[in-house]
Amino acid sequence: MRKYLLKRVFYMILTLFLVATITFFLMKLMPGTPYSNQQKMTAQQIQIMNEQYGLNKPMWMQYLIYLGGMLHGDLGVSFQFSNQPVSYLIASRIGASAQLGIQAMIFGVVLGIVIGSIAAVNKNTWIDTLCTILSIIGKSVPNFVLAVLLQFYIALKLGWFPIADWGGFSYTVLPTIALGVGPLAETARFIRTGMVDVLNSDYIELAKAKGMSRYGIVWHHALRNSLIPLVTLIGPYTVALMTGSMVIENIFSIPGIGEQFVKSILTNDYPTIMGVTMLFSAGLVAVILLTDIIYGIIDPRIRLSGSGD
């Protein structure tokens, strides 16, 4: 187990290194300079500034300098926020994004499992139909549309929650719902399909024959087995939440990282693009590793060593 983990961590670092390399060179292909007043600067001024920031050095040298800095935890200094270290920018903004992401994930997955199980157990009844319709609608509405609706009706018209801004828990409710409904709908559908399959299988028949209670069956057999495919979805959910956060943070004026990322791309803020890309990548790679480990724990049929060598 330890050997396997070490191996995976090594691969993780390798992946991150490759991501850093690819992003670095792709980013350098982006047109324009990182200077926000580029339009009014002459070519000569831009050249002097490039010398200032070491942007006139050969690309491989910039790359080595960047990698060297990264090893020391130095992600460089942002261009759009002058003199602001990227590590500080990320640190001061990740809290909101992480909180929102985790809340949305918990909200979506837990409620999704409940709704999905209810639907599966009551298969082909009106409860099932209702759950299915709800989850389909949840899946069909883009989160930015939902966010606008929630903000307008729940916050402005009814005044139940704050319209925007970031403060106490009440500020997180609407963005969490807007962000979490996608995973919720997805989870519910996955759990339902998985559980219907499992409930049809022989060992459930056996458990029934043994006189096990309905909820006992669901809890002990069905849920555990239908959770397996769900685990692989955590990776895509993380991506969806990262992408979603860019939009949701914009609508609810939340000081998060997703929105910052869009802006850094549009302003050619190279160090910030790199920093956030690396952060997203590291998060995703970690989630994938975690997924594999959990997968092994839940489903004893797949031994971790089996996928290693």
Partner 1 sequence: MKINKFAKLGAVAMLSAVFLAACGSKDSSSKQVLNWDETAELPTMDLSKATDRVSFDALNNTNEGLYRLGKDSKIEPGIATKTTVANDGLKYTFNLRKDAKWSNGDKVTAKDFVYSWQRTVKPSTGSQYAYLFSGIQNADDITAGKKSASTLGVKAEGNYKLVVTLDKRVPYFKLLMGFPSFYPQSQKAVDKYGSKYGTASKYMVYNGPFELTKWTGSNLSWTLKKNNDYWDKKNVKLSAINYKVNKSNSTGYNLYQSGKLDMTYLNSEQAKQLADSKELVIRHGASTFYLEYNQTKKEFQNKKIRQALSLVINRKQFTGKVLGDGSTVAKGLVASDMAKHNGKDFADDAYVKDATANDVTKAKKLWSEGLKELGVKELSFALLSDDTDKAKDSTEFLQSQIEENLAGAKVSVSNVPFKTRLDRSVKGNFDVVVTAWSADFADPISFLDLLTSDNSYNNGKWKNAEYDKLIESSKSTNAGNTTKRWNDLVQAHKVLMEDQGISPLYQQANATMLKSKVKGVIYNAAGVNYNFKDAYIK
Partner 2 sequence: MEEKLKLGPENFEALPKAEELDNEKIAAPSLTFVQDAWRRLKMNKGALISFIIIVLMIIISFGSTPFINHDSLVKSAPKYANLPAKIPGVPINGLNGKLKVSGEWVDEYKQNNVPDNKYFVLGTDYLGHSLAERIIYGTKISLIVALVATFFDLTLGVAYGIVSGWRGGRVDNVMQRIIEIISSIPSLVIVVLMLIVLKPGMTSIIAAIAISSWTTMARMIRAETLQLKSQEYVLAARTLGESPWKIAWKHLVPNLSSIIIIQTMYTIPTAIFFEAFLSFIGIGISAPQTSLGVLLNDGQKNFQFLPYQMWYPAIVLCVLMIAFNLLGDGLRDAFDPKTRR
Binding site for partner 1 (CB under 8 A): 30-33, 35-45, 48-49, 52-53, 80-84, 88-89, 91-96, 98-99, 148, 151-152, 155-156, 159, 163-168, 250-255, 259-260, 265-268
Structure tokens at 42: 């002459």
CA distance 143 to 247: 8
Q: Which amino acid is at 265?
A: I
Q: What is the total count of residues that contact partner 2 (CB under 8 A)?
A: 63
| Contact by Cβ (8 Å): 278, 261 | no
Residue labelled with tokens 């992600």:
75
Q: Does 174 bind partner 2 (CB under 8 A)?
A: no
| Contact by Cβ (8 Å): 40, 309 | no
| Contact by Cβ (8 Å): 223, 195 | yes
Q: Which residues in the 15-44 window bind partner 2 by CB under 8 A?
A: 15-16, 18-19, 22-23, 26-27, 29-31
Residue 66 interacting entry, from partner 1, partner 2, none, C-beta within 5 to 8 Å by type: none
Q: Which of 96/192 has CB closer to partner 2?
A: 192
Across the strands, what pairs with 237?
none
CA angle 80, 42, 85 (to 5 degrees): 20
Across the strands, what pairs with 77?
85
Q: Which residues in the 213-272 window bind partner 2 by CB under 8 A?
A: 228-229, 232, 235-236, 239-240, 242-243, 246-247, 261-262, 265-266
Output the smallest distance, CB 236 to partner 1, in A.
25
Residue 87 interacting entry, from partner 1, partner 2, none, C-beta within 5 to 8 Å by type: none
- In angstroms, what CA-CA distances link 282 with 9, 13, 73, 279? 11, 9, 14, 5
CA distance 160 to 176: 15
Interface residues toward partner 2, by CB under 8 A: 11, 14-16, 18-19, 22-23, 26-27, 29-31, 132-133, 136-137, 139-142, 144-145, 148-149, 152, 186, 189-190, 193, 196-197, 200, 228-229, 232, 235-236, 239-240, 242-243, 246-247, 261-262, 265-266, 273, 277, 280-281, 284-285, 288, 295, 299, 301-302, 306-309
